């Protein structure tokens, strides 16, 4: 079953700002990254998925339901973790998550049990009986995740789940999201500005820009290997470049890396021989991969849009707030 499917989805606000323009996309179960510029229409998209906003035109289906009509049924099966702070500081995590479970329709005792389980699964143990106000950023993010998870949704919407976390906290949160998507069997739509994170945990990526679909693809397709080898040696990069050039390989330099087109299998041997003969420490040898960042690096020009779309996106940025 398609998780979220939209057909020519358009949302224009009263002040004339178009947040979504003719967006047609099908999102399959799994961990899906939703990426785009600030003001690209991500928050509008989430609100429409939750049935909190009605589209101006076009259709949307979430878990097979139409959120504009059956918003409550959709919300009963969706968990939402907002980007900003949303926790009352004077409650304990256990009390708060239990309350939120009841707000999702779980009976009283079940709510308590599942809250306790959800907190355990996100890695909060004794701390859950302490007031949330005293928690670290990482712990707060976990509570936010637990309240979205407590009613066992079929779809989790995570808005910048690693916001404000330090490297260790980010690592733990990403691991958690990955587990939810694989072990728990819950589909996840995660909004993130950090494309490296998206590459690490997502199965597929939906990129929107200026309210339009920029690209929707499997991550494996977006990060496919190219026919270029990257070679990195810890020292003697210039010598190696000269030697490879002498061996008639059209080598290019990119920072610390040397880029060599992969003509055929013998290219590997030529490189290895050159490194061995020069007695250099070989640090890296690999086919270069495409990156999700390439979507944005070249800007809208690459997608065939006129450069004016960039200015348009800038105008939308302000309008949505």
Residue list 113-132, contact with other proteins (CB under 8 A): 114, 117, 121, 131
Question: CA torsion angle for 79, 81, 86, 90 (degrees, to 10)?
Answer: 70
Q: Are 190 and 176 in contact (CB under 8 A)?
A: no
Q: For residue 17, state whether it binds other proteins (rule: CB under 8 A).
A: no
Q: For residue 99, state whether it binds other proteins (rule: CB under 8 A).
A: yes
Q: Which stretch binds other proteins (CB under 8 A): 22-30, 59-67, 90-98, 216-224?
A: 90-98
Q: Are 319 and 13 in contact (CB under 8 A)?
A: yes
Question: Of 196, 261, 306, 307, which one interacts with other proteins (CB under 8 A)?
Answer: 196
107 closest CA partner among 151, 166, 158, 74: 151
Name which of 10 and 163 has its Cβ closer to other proteins: 163
Shortest CB 212 distance to other proteins, Å: 15
Q: For residue 30, state whether it binds other proteins (rule: CB under 8 A).
A: no
Q: Are 160 and 191 in contact (CB under 8 A)?
A: yes
Q: How far is CA 59 from CA 9, 13, 69, 114, 132, in A?
A: 6, 17, 11, 34, 40
Q: For residue 47, state whether it binds other proteins (rule: CB under 8 A).
A: yes
Question: Of 282, 288, 303, 305, which one interacts with other proteins (CB under 8 A)?
Answer: 282
Q: For residue 182, state whether it binds other proteins (rule: CB under 8 A).
A: no
Judged by CB under 8 A, the chain residues 213 through 272 that form the site for other proteins are 234, 265, 268-269, 272
Q: How far is CA 221 from CA 193, 224, 292, in A?
A: 20, 5, 10
Name which of 27 and 155 has its Cβ closer to other proteins: 155
Judged by CB under 8 A, the chain residues 297 through 316 that form the site for other proteins are 297, 299, 311, 314
User: In 3-state terms, the chain is what percent helix, strand and coil (to 5)?
Assistant: 40, 25, 30
Q: For residue 1, state whether it binds other proteins (rule: CB under 8 A).
A: no
Residue 224 DSSP symbol? P
Question: Of 281, 289, 301, 307, which one interacts with other proteins (CB under 8 A)?
Answer: 281
């Amino acid at each position: 079953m398609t998780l979220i499917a939209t057909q020519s989805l358009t949302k224009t606000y009263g002040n004339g700002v178009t947040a979504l323009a003719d967006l047609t996309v099908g999102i399959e179960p799994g961990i899906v990254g939703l990426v785009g510029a600030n003001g690209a229409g991500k928050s509008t998209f989430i609100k429409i998925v939750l049935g909190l906003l009605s589209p101006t035109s076009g259709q949307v289906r979430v878990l097979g339901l139409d959120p504009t009509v059956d918003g409550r049924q959709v919300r009963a099966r969706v968990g939402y973790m907002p980007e900003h702070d949303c926790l009352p500081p004077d409650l304990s995590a256990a009390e708060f998550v239990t309350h939120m479970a009841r707000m999702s329709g779980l009976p009283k005792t079940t709510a308590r049990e599942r809250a306790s389980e959800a907190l355990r699964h996100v890695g909060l143990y004794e701390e859950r009986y302490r007031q949330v106000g005293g928690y670290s950023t990482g712990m707060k993010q976990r509570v936010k995740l637990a309240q979205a998870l407590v009613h066992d949704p079929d779809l989790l919407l995570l808005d910048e789940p690693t916001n404000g976390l330090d490297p260790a906290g980010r690592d733990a949160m990403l691991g958690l999201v990955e587990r939810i998507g694989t072990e728990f069997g819950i589909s996840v739509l995660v909004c993130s500005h950090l494309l490296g994170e998206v590459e690490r945990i997502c199965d597929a990526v939906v990129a929107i820009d200026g309210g339009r679909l920029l690209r929707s693809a499997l991550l494996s397709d977006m990060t496919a290997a190219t026919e270029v080898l990257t070679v990195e040696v810890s020292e003697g990069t210039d010598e190696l470049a000269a030697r490879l050039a002498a061996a008639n390989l059209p080598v290019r330099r990119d920072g610390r890396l040397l880029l060599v087109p992969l003509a055929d299998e013998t290219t590997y041997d030529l490189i290895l021989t050159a490194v061995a003969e020069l007695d250099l420490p070989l640090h890296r040898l690999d086919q270069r991969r495409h990156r999700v960042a390439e979507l944005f690096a070249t800007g809208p020009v690459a997608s065939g849009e006129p450069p004016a779309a960039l200015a348009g996106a800038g105008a939308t940025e302000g309008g949505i707030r």
